[in-house]
Amino acid sequence: MFDLSWMAWTWQTATFFAVIALLLAGMTAWEFVRPGGAPRDGVLGLHTTRGDRLFISLLGSAYIHLAWLGLIGPNLWWALALSIVYAVLVFRFV
Amino acid sequence: MRLRWLVPTVYIIFLMLPIYWLINMSFKTTNEILGGFSLYPRNFTTASYVEILTNPVWYNGYLSSISYVVINTVISVTVALPAAYAFSRYRFLGDKHLFFWLLTNRMAPPAVFALPFYQLYSAINLFDTPWAVALAHCLFNIPLAVWILEGFMSGVPKEIDETAYIDGYSWPRFFVKIFMPLIASGIGVTAFFCFMFSWVEMLLAKSLTAVAAKPIAAVMTRTASTSGYELGLLAAAGVLTIIPGALVIYFVRNYIAKGFALGRV
Amino acid sequence: MNKTLNNRAWFMVLPVLLLVAFNAIIPLMTVVNYSVQETFGNNLFFFEGFKWYEQVLTSSRFHASLTRQIIFTLVILAIEIPLGVAVALAMPRSGPWVPVCLVLMALPLLIPWNVVGAMWNIFALPDIGLLGYVINAIGIDYNFTRQPGSAWFTVVLMDVWHWTSLVVLLAYAGLRSIPDAYYQAARIDSASAWSVFRYIQLPKMRRVLTIAVLLRFIDSFMIYTEPFVLTGGGPGNTTTFLSIDLVKAALGEFNLGIAAAMSVIYFLMTLLACWCFYTLMTRGDEQ
């Protein structure tokens, strides 16, 4: 096969991408069990399905982490906690 | 209101000025260019064009540009046709998110991808071939092609598909014999835009080629820096890169507005 | 259109999916991998955590090029959108001149981007270029390779030259979709040109204009080749936009980690812009 060393995998990034892949697989399974994606109009006036809410959560979390790094400091566990709270809020209300 | 024609006229003159200047420079001798400012070539010469059309470094650049652009256009349109049909006719798991993900690739900055692309295409031994550039340009041209084609296909009533199936057409036969002729102008517009974006993109084209497959526009800047500042040659090469675009645009002039009307560029 | 549910449609999308994923996902993963490591060449990497992200986010160089990028994009939008709409409104609605205008206007869109840069370089040179010579001849000191102000003026003018036609073509296509009956009704009501624009033309152009604004926003946000060929990001760093800065860090200084972290941040910004774009557009479709 091809030489993949140039991709420079680390277990940390591999875990990260595995988690994303699992989330996508989970969403697919959820969609098979309960099709339709539970669409609704949230508090922001956006029409969202589950997939949209996942995307908004992930993108928002990325920005929360970046803002934490840029404005507060390198201890990202708090940013992670904040992101989880944010994701729960998104899934509940948006 | 009777002077309304002035606005587009002045605008078009503004567009033509730099192009005129390039053409002007391309017919001057190096001495005249460096000698000072002049509105038109006093010693008219075609030496720059002769040099480009007889020197293999130059015309090979031309050929490799055209070959990767054509390969890319063919690949993009071919794979985008069934995909656009699927998006315009069916609902399926994750269709909206898939469409959105495709679009993000049209919007992503090529600068982000330049470095890993170099590694990726070296790893699969395609570096410095037209295929590398053609495949890399698929990144933004396939989403674009799907987007434009989907717009055209949604304009074709679904009853046509159903009638054909009742008449006993298989899907591939229906698609090639009936459906593709119906959206022929759409396919033309799509091919035009794929051609255009592959022709004008330079960051990826330059970083994925070294010697053998260097595009003409990259040969141009390299020559300008190595062999002194030969503005005449540079200008002539520039003029020659405008010609294919001008030809293509002339042939599709009546469809352009339609393609833009869908607002999908 | 009423779409039928058919999960086998996935097979039709599969080739597109594979090709784009090959080009998008592998490089993106690689960039993420690089962004958390230090390298000294030879594929030797050391894990560094979020060090590069922190460095990029707190570096004044990144802030400067981001600010420059945002100012550039706003200036471009403020000029190109009104200008493009004005030209489209003044174009004849039919007749033999329409195809001529369209072909000539579309011409700049089809010139390779570094040729655009080289062309404007020749055009703006102070001693032998038409633009530079004329500006100096009327008594203004102008030299885009030395003065930041002149460099900005030239880069902005070049982008206006290059891309306003896209706005014109989009707006014109929007205008042409207005039926003649609307104009006749307006004439009977003896409506002013302004109210025709405000109540007939502008609403009809809303959708294409949204697309024009967002395309110009996103494309100017990732501009690289034209200003790089024209000014090389200079004088100093005054026209170094995000993409130019990124390529400088990656290929010029071979700061792989920093460049990769910048790429990820840059990519997240375009992802957000793209999402806003998509949401706005699909909302327009629903209404």
Question: Both B211 and B174 in a single domain?
Answer: yes
Is the pLDDT confidence value at A50 over 80? yes
Residue C4, φ and ψ in degrees, nearest 5: -90, 145
Q: State the pLDDT at residue B238.
A: 87
Greatest mean pLDDT among A63-77, B29-43, B146-160, C156-170:
C156-170
Q: State the pLDDT at residue A42.
A: 74
Q: Can you say whether the dihedral through the CA atoms of A2, A3, A5, A6 is positive or negative?
A: negative
Which residues of chain C fall short of a pLDDT of 70? 1-2, 41-44, 284-287
Question: Both B129 and B247 in a single domain?
Answer: yes
CATH number at residue C246: 1.10.3720.10
Question: Both B41 and B65 in a single domain?
Answer: no
Rounded CA separation C254/C243 (Å) = 15
Nearest CA in chain A to C60: A70
Nearest CA in chain C to A47: C283
Q: Which is more confident, B107 or B2? A: B107
Question: Both B32 and B70 in a single domain?
Answer: no
Q: Please choose, from the candidates C106, C49, A78, the residue with its C-alpha nearest in 3D space to the C-alpha of residue B196.
A: C106
Is the pLDDT confidence value at B227 over 60? no
C4 domain-assigned: no
Rounded CA separation C121/C234 (Å) = 13
Q: Do C32 and A63 touch (CB under 8 A)?
A: no
Question: Both B13 and B123 in a single domain?
Answer: no
For helices C97-106 and B6-26, angle between their N-to-C axes, nearest 10 degrees = 50
Which residues of chain B approach chain A closer than 8 Å at the C-beta?
93-94, 96-97, 119, 122-124
Supply the range of the domain harboring residue C215. Answer: 61-286
Is the pLDDT confidence value at B71 over 70? yes
Largest CA distance in chain C: 77
Q: Which is more confident, B35 or B168? A: B168
Question: Both B74 and B201 in a single domain?
Answer: yes
C7 domain-assigned: no
Question: Both B95 and B139 in a single domain?
Answer: yes
Query: In sequence order, what DSSP letters do the residues of B115-146 get, joined into one string?
Result: HHHHHHHHHTT-TTSHHHHHHHHHHHHHHHHH
Q: State the pLDDT at residue A60.
A: 93
CATH number at residue B191: 1.10.3720.10
pTM of the predicted structure, to 2 decimals: 0.87
C98 domain-assigned: yes
Q: What residues of C are in contact with residue B27 (Cβ under 8 Å)?
A: none
A18-39: average pLDDT: 86
Rounded CA separation A1/C52 (Å) = 32
Is the pLDDT confidence value at A1 over 60? no
Q: State the pLDDT at residue C84.
A: 93
Total number of domains constituting chain C: 1
C17 domain-assigned: no
Rounded CA separation B187/B180 (Å) = 8
Question: Both B38 and B76 in a single domain?
Answer: no
Question: Both B34 and B132 in a single domain?
Answer: no
* Residue-wise pLDDT tens digits, B107-135: 888 888 888 888 888 888 888 888 999 99
Is the pLDDT confidence value at B145 over 80? yes
A/C interface, count of CB pairs below 8 Å: 55
State percent of chain B over pLDDT 70.
92
Q: State the pLDDT at residue B265.
A: 46
Q: Which is more confident, B35 or B197? A: B197
Please list, residue by residue across B54-76, b when 16 or more beta carbons sit within 10 angstroms of its beta carbon and e when fewer do. Answer: eeeebebbbebbbbbbbbbbebb
Q: State the pLDDT at residue A63.
A: 93
Question: Both B21 and B115 in a single domain?
Answer: no
Q: Give C72-78 contacts, CB < 8 A, sequence gap 24+.
A: C72/C155, C72/C156, C72/C220, C72/C223, C72/C241, C73/C217, C73/C220, C73/C221, C75/C156, C76/C156, C76/C159, C76/C160, C76/C163, C76/C216, C76/C220, C77/C213, C77/C216, C77/C217, C77/C220
Question: Both B25 and B79 in a single domain?
Answer: no
Per-chain mean pLDDT for chain C: 85
Supply the range of the domain harboring residue B71. Answer: 56-230+240-261
Q: Which is more confident, B138 or B265? A: B138
Nearest CA in chain A to B100: A52
B105 domain-assigned: yes
CB-nearest partner of C279 from A12, A17, A46: A46
Is the pLDDT confidence value at B264 over 70? no
Residue B180 vs residues B89, B172, C54, C219: alpha-carbon distances, Å: 15, 11, 52, 31
Total number of domains constituting chain B: 2
Q: State the pLDDT at residue C152.
A: 92
* Residue-wise pLDDT tens digits, C186-240: 888 888 888 888 888 888 788 778 878 888 888 898 888 888 888 887 788 888 8
Is the pLDDT confidence value at B69 over 70? yes
Residue with tokens 């009936």: B178
Q: State the pLDDT at residue C10.
A: 86
Per-chain mean pLDDT for chain B: 84
Rounded CA separation C65/C60 (Å) = 9
Q: What residues of A are in contact with residue C275 (Cβ under 8 Å)?
A: 55, 59
C250: tokens are 């990656």
